[in-house]
Amino acid sequence: MHRTAMTCFPFSFSKKSSSSLPSTRPNLDNDEDDISSIQNVKIYTYKELRNATDNFSEANKIGEGGFGSVYMGRLKGGKLAAIKVLSAESKQGVKEFLTEINVISEIEHENLVKLYGCCVEKNSRILVYNYLENNSLSRTLLGGSHDSIYFDWQTRCRIGVGVARGLAFLHEEVRPLIIHRDIKASNILLDKDLTPKISDFGLAKLMPANATHVSTRVAGTLGYLAPEYAIGGRLTRKADIYSFGVLLIEIVSGRCNTNSRLPIEEQFILERTWELYERKELVALVDTALNGEFDAEQAVKFLKIGLLCTQESPKCRPSMSTVVKMLTGEMEVDDSKMTKPALISDFMDLKVRHKQESIIDTRTSSSYNTSSASEHHDTTIISAATSTFTTQHDHSM
Ligand SMILES: Nc1ncnc2c1ncn2[C@@H]1O[C@H](COP(=O)(O)OP(=O)(O)OP(=O)(O)O)[C@@H](O)[C@H]1O
Ligand SMILES: [Mg+2]
């Protein structure tokens, strides 16, 4: 039932082989000493990646996001890769870029996409990742139509727990720890066994400060953003936990966080979830595509965890390791003090107010582009944007 996107590759492979640092390291002038500690980053030549993708052909393009286009490619030796060409010209120097990549490439976890390496020739900044056969949750679970896969209840549980584990690892185990900042269905990729892999972690940190990506899916994007981050610019791990809560509810319900085709009272998933929680009817939110074949108690528990993760006060949201324990049944879910989550519709109300609109739009796009356009509006986001690996804002929570 799992659809994989396999294509024929009429490629002529480059004669020049890729090799690890330092042999094909680009000319780094005086930086060589500084980056001699970099060991894990494989440097690909531009020519090699061009060959692997048939000259970055449309036929090999598998997607386009805020950071640039993604191509499927077959590397020398036959390995498939997802090759992400960053769209903006990086103002970041080669040394800084490689240093950041080094941090990410050292991180390995079953629930994180593996970075193979990168290319930094001239103005090109290209990232090479492990290719994942079953695309993203947004396409296969929430997208409907041709790319759809049937996700049974066990698979959904495994995906929820897997994403939680990957995030707990980034938040609590790696040093320096990482706040993802863009947890959403399109950044959860699935391998051939439907094991979830978080992608794009650390990517925001790699983007130049002048990048100007404005998301075309603002409504959907807004749906994952913790209000204190989207409006106030306060970035902590709790912003990721909020996004995870929204994602978890999407996984159980099989629907996007925002759907303007539904009756107004059902359009925002968090609002709907809270309403059903109050009426003790949470089970009604479970995806009807499951045809009733699911563990109702467990499904309701997952939805309550989603509500806990999206509590208005960041302090009331559990840590990701606690979330993992609650999802796996090692810890009880205590909803006795649970209050209404921070609702997206409240945020949308704010957005339509004329004066606020431009500020919110600016800040929204900024979360996808490091500091980008927020520079003149919100210094907190700028410092937050540089805190991906440092968490200086995270101590109080
Ligand atoms: N490692 C990978 N394996 C397979 N497909 C991938 C891989 N990385 C990305 N893709 C596909 O490429 C598409 C574009 O990904 P990209 O991360 O650029 O955009 P996005 O996640 O939709 O948005 P954003 O820029 O906000 O992250 C996604 O739909 C995803 O399915
Ligand atoms: Mg992405």
**pLDDT single digits (tens) 94-148:** 777 787 788 788 899 999 999 999 998 878 889 999 999 999 999 999 986 556 7
- Position 267 scores a pLDDT of 87
More confident residue, 91 or 139: 139
Whether 82 is in the pocket of ligand 1, judged by its Cβ within 6 Å, is: yes
Strand residues in 78-202 grouped as ranges (E): 80-86, 115-119, 126-130, 188-190, 196-198
Q: How close is the Cα of 182 to the center of ligand 2, in Å? A: 8
Q: How far is the CA of 101 from the centre of ligand 1 (A)?
A: 18
- Say yes or no: CB of residue 135 within 6 Å of ligand 1: yes
Indicate whether 360 pLDDT > 80. Answer: no
Res 395: pLDDT: 43
Q: How confident is residue 221, by pLDDT bands cut at 50, 70 and 90?
A: low
140 ligand 1 Cβ < 6 A: no
Ligand (nearest to CA of 139): 1
| Residue 250 pLDDT grade (very low, low, confident, very high; cuts 50, 70, 90) | very high
93 vs 27: CA distance, rounded Å: 12
Please identify, by atom number, the ligand 1 atom nearest to the C-alpha of residue 135. Answer: 31
| pLDDT in the model for residue 179 | 87
197 contacts 113 by C-beta, under 8 angstroms: yes
Nearest CA to ligand 1 atom 28: 63
For 119, other C-beta atoms within 10 Å of its C-beta total 24
Distance of CA 130 from the midpoint of ligand 2 (Å): 14
Distances in Å between the Cα of 379 and the Cα atoms of 47, 206, 231 are 40, 19, 12
**pLDDT at 92 (0 to 100):** 61
Question: Is residue 5 in some structural domain?
Answer: no
Residue 44 lies in a domain: yes
Question: What pLDDT, on a 0 to 100 scale, did the predictor assign at position 229?
Answer: 80
Mean pLDDT computed over every residue of the chain: 76
Q: How far is the C-alpha of 180 from the C-alpha of 199, rounded, in Å?
A: 9
What pLDDT shows up at residue 261?
87
pLDDT at residue 37, as a whole number = 55
Which ligand 1 atom is nearest residue 203's CA? 27
Whole-angstrom distance, CA of residue 237 vs CA of residue 199: 17
Ligand number, closest to the Cα atom of 217 = 1
Contact status, residue 43 vs residue 120, Cβ threshold 8 Å: yes
Which residue in the list 34, 147, 182, 361 is annotated as catalytic? 182
124 lies in the same domain as 170: no
The last residue of a domain, from among 109, 130, 151: 130
Q: Are residues 84 and 162 in the same domain?
A: no
**Domain co-membership, 234 together with 119:** no
Tell me how crowded residue 56 is: count the other CB atoms within 10 A of its CB: 16
Domain's final residue, options 73, 103, 130 = 130
**319 and 291 in a common domain:** yes
**73 and 214, same domain (yes or no):** no
| pLDDT in the model for residue 299 | 98
Instruction: Please indicate, yes or no, whether residues 342 and 245 belong to a single structural domain of this protein.
Output: yes
Most ligand 1 atoms within 8 A of CB, residue of 199, 203, 218, 247 to mutate: 199
| Structure token pair of residue 276 | 């059903």
pLDDT of residue 20: 34
Looking at the domain assignment, is residue 261 inside a domain? Answer: yes
Q: Are residues 95 and 162 in the same domain?
A: no
Report the pLDDT value the prediction gives residue 347, as an integer from 0 to 100: 56
pLDDT of residue 235: 78
CATH of the domain at 25: 3.30.200.20
Angle separating helix axes 237-253 and 153-168, nearest 10 degrees: 170
**pTM exceeds 0.85, yes or no:** no
Give φ, ψ of 190 to 5 degrees: -125, 130
DSSP state of 12: P
Structure tokens at 274: 């809270």
Mark whether 105 and 182 lie in a shared domain: no
CB of 136 closer than 6 A to ligand 1? yes
Distance 198 CA to ligand 2 centre (A): 9
Counted domains in the chain? 2
By alpha-carbon position, which residue is closest to atom 4 of ligand 1?
132
Helices 296-309, 320-328: axis angle to 10 degrees equals: 170
Query: What is the model's pLDDT at position 266?
Result: 87
Q: Is residue 300 part of a domain?
A: yes
For residue 140, give the ligand nearest its CA.
1
- With a 6 A CB cut-off, is 187 part of the ligand 1 pocket? yes
Most confident of 192-196, 211-215, 221-225, 255-259: 192-196
Residue 397, domain member (yes or no): no
**Domain ends where: 130, 162, 195?**
130
In a mutational test of the pocket of ligand 1, which residue from 62, 149, 181, 212 has the highest number of ligand atoms less than 8 Å from its CB? Answer: 62
Instruction: Please tell me the residue having the least CA distance from ligand 1 atom 12.
Output: 63
Domain of residue 228 covers 138-390
SS3 content of the chain, % helix, strand, coil (to 5): 40, 10, 45
For the question of residue 182 being annotated catalytic, the response is yes
With respect to residue 219, please indicate whether it lies within any of the assigned structural domains: yes
Predicted pLDDT of residue 205: 64
Q: Are residues 158 and 103 in the same domain?
A: no
CA of 333 to the centre of ligand 2 (A): 31
In a domain, 266, yes or no: yes
Residues 13-52 pLDDT 10s: 222 233 333 333 444 444 444 445 567 789 999 999 999 9
> How far is Cα 174 from Cα 96, in angstroms, rounded to an integer?
20
**C-alpha to C-alpha distance for 81 and 369, rounded to whole angstroms:** 24
Beta-strand pair 68-74/126-130: unpaired
Which ligand is nearest to the Cα of residue 65, counting in written order? Answer: 1
Choose between 302 and 31: higher pLDDT.
302
The least confident of 78-92, 286-300, 368-382 is 368-382
Written as one letter, the residue type at 32 is E
142 lines ligand 1 (CB under 6 A): no
Q: What is the pLDDT of residue 240?
A: 94
Contacts of 36 (CB under 8 A, 6+ apart): 22
Q: Is 66 in the pocket of ligand 1 (CB under 6 A)?
A: yes
Pair (357, 219) in one structural domain: yes
Q: Is 358 within a domain?
A: yes
Range from 87-101, 130-144, 298-312, 333-347 that averages highest in pLDDT: 298-312
Maximum C-alpha span of the chain: 66
Distance CA 107, CA 40 (A): 10
- 173 plus 322 within the same structural domain: yes
CA distances from 139 to 145, 184, 189, 241 (A): 9, 12, 9, 22
Spacing, Cα 34 to ligand 2 middle (Å)? 30
Q: What is the number of the ligand 1 atom nearest to the C-alpha of 62?
A: 12
pLDDT (mean) for 272-293: 97
CATH of the domain at 327: 1.10.510.10
Whether 33 and 174 share a structural domain:
no
State CA 184 to chain mean position distance.
5
